[in-house]
């Protein structure tokens, strides 16, 4: 969380997950199609094939003085250091898993890396929502199997999505932003 020069509060949300899981598609849908949010421009830094090279970024606001700065980070192995850097001062995480069975191992590795970077803060101090994307695939993996593979703390909210059609996208964003706000309120009370 940070305050800008105008006194507005910014919360940082990051979409994490293996390469091609659908992070950019989710953010793009949120930016282009979801009403009721005030949006800034969507900035994407991609190579000519459309792969995210560094990150995608879009700010969203529901009120005049609270903004959510949403990023997706590049998922390829070679961008590990960038992901680690981006996760500094993060307020909420959306972990995007790919339902394609061929991506089973990639999902596991991405989850493993995130746990390594975030330690015990993950899903506790730093709220997290799981997105199981590509639920339109005929050969999609079983939901329970995917959650077992990821091995995040028990009872982490998991939402089925079809990013290309926008199914579940708004719900996932609402869930993580709600958890961030709730956490902020409760930590203020505790202080």
Which residue lies nearer to ligand GDP by CB, 81 or 155?
Answer: 81
* Dist. CA 27–CA 24, nearest whole Å: 5
Q: Please report where in the chains the tokens 């959650």 appear, as a residue.
A: 147
Binding partner of residue 123 among ligand GDP, Mg ion, none, CB under 5 to 8 Å per kind? none
Q: What is the footprint of ligand GDP within residues 89-148 (CB under 6 A)?
A: 133-134, 136-137
Binding partner of residue 164 among Mg ion, ligand GDP, none, CB under 5 to 8 Å per kind? ligand GDP
Q: Are 95 and 137 in contact (CB under 8 A)?
A: no
* Longest CA span, the chain: 50
Q: What is the footprint of ligand GDP within residues 151-180 (CB under 6 A)?
A: 162-164
Residues making contact with Mg ion (CB under 5 A): 23-24, 52
List of residues 6+ apart from 132 with CB closer than 8 A: 97, 99, 143, 146, 147, 158, 159, 160, 161
Binding partner of residue 162 among ligand GDP, Mg ion, none, CB under 5 to 8 Å per kind? ligand GDP
Which residue lies nearer to ligand GDP by CB, 60 or 95?
Answer: 95
Burial of 160-179, coded b for 16+ CB within 10 Å and e otherwise, reads bbbbeebbbbbebbebbbeb
Question: How many helices (H) does the chain have, and how many strands (E)?
Answer: 5, 9
- The mark string for 56-95 relative to ligand GDP (x by CB under 6 A, - otherwise) is ----------------x--x--------------------
Which residue lies nearer to ligand GDP by CB, 21 or 94?
Answer: 21
Q: What are phi and psi of 30, to 5 degrees?
A: -55, -45
User: Residue 63 Cβ, how far from Mg ion at the closest point, in Å?
Assistant: 28
The site for ligand GDP (CB under 6 A) is made up of: 17, 19-25, 52, 72, 75, 133-134, 136-137, 162-164
């Amino acid at each position: 969380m940070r305050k800008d020069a105008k006194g507005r509060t910014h919360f940082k949300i990051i979409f994490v997950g293996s390469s091609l899981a659908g992070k950019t598609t989710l953010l793009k849908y949120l930016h282009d199609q979801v009403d009721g949010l005030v949006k800034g421009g969507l900035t994407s830094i991609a190579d000519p094939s459309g792969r995210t090279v560094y990150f995608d970024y879009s700010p969203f606001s529901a009120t005049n003085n609270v903004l959510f700065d949403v990023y997706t980070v590049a998922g390829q192995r070679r961008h590990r250091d960038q992901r680690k850097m981006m996760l500094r001062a993060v307020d909420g995480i959306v972990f995007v898993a790919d339902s394609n069975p061929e991506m089973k191992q990639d999902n596991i590795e991405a989850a493993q890396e995130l746990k390594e970077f975030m330690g015990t803060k993950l899903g506790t101090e730093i709220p997290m929502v799981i997105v199981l994307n590509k639920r339109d695939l005929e050969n999609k993996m079983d939901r329970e199997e995917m959650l077992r593979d990821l091995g995040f703390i028990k009872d982490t909210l998991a939402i089925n999505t079809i990013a290309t059609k926008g199914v579940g996208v708004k719900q996932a964003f609402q869930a993580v932003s709600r958890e961030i706000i709730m956490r902020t309120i409760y930590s203020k009370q505790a202080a």
